[in-house]
Structure 1
């Protein structure tokens, strides 16, 4: 009987130490809850486009990615990268870093020096997600 009381006391003490240690890292449970509330599980959406729509060799092109989540602009993307690859010569590849210009719109400018078909992919990393939509671009002489 005496032995079981000591065992219960030891187990109770150990449990209190473990539970007390769980909240000693300085982060309150309400702070963790608030951080999780700001992270939506809704996927980010990326609309890829460029201007002008009809591209000719050595013409300046503005590539644009419009990033949204829950129909709201995403202005805090960690990375927006435009990868433009010539479909006939994969050695003809450029990568342009997108810059936020406002309201979820990221842009970069570049020039394509050869005519042909290109695959344009925007790599967008935002809010723990990654999206990489692609479109085909035709460059005329």
Structure 2
């Protein structure tokens, strides 16, 4: 009789542990979701041509329609210290857009800073304006597309609608 009671207690304990481990698996799946931003910038544009910058933001496989911040940072090749930022428009479908134009030939970098779900991502892409420019090799394109996911200071506080 005593051995039956011990056996029942062991079975009940095993069932309880199995139920608890199932919940932790679901919690781990939530933790594995990644904030991603797909940056869409034309490869080339003419001087003074208005272009649209677009970022499609997802968390896991779901569109993020309520990002905390989506800001575009733009700078000329070799001149990041003179970058400027443009606020985006939330299209409420997971895309965040902004328009801009460039007033001279050159190679420019566009980096979108996205903060959502307590995460930050910042993919970057280059655009050639007009005839482009003749620059020596730069490490600016060697950076990881998503950059560092930690806390970031602001890069230049100059906010311009157009450059």
For this structure pair, what is the TM-score category when the shorter chain's length is used for normalisation?
0.5 to 0.7
Higher radius of gyration, 1 or 2: 1
Q: Which has the higher strand share?
A: 1
Normalised by the length of structure 1, the TM-score is 0.66
Consecutive aligned runs of 4 or more in structure 1 exceeding 4 Å deviation:
none
Hey, what's the Cα distance between the residues in 2 that align with 1:91 and 1:121?
A: 14
**Superposition pairs of residues 94-105 of structure 1, within 5 angstroms:** 94-105=84-95
Tell me the CA shift for residue 91 of structure 1: 5.9
**Equivalent pair of 1:88/1:117 in contact (CA under 8 Å):** no
CA deviation map 1:85-122 (0-9, x unaligned): 10144465331111111310000111111211111100
**Partners of 2:51 and 2:99 within 8 A in 1:** yes
**2:90 counterpart SS class:** strand
Corresponding residue of 1:127: 117
> TM-score of the superposition, structure 2-length normalised?
0.57
Mapped to 2, the partners of 1:110 and 1:116 lie a distance apart of 15
- For 2:80 and 2:86, locate their aligned partners in 1 and report how far apart those are by CA, in whole Å: 16
Distance 1:94 1:114 in 2: 16
Matched residue count: 102
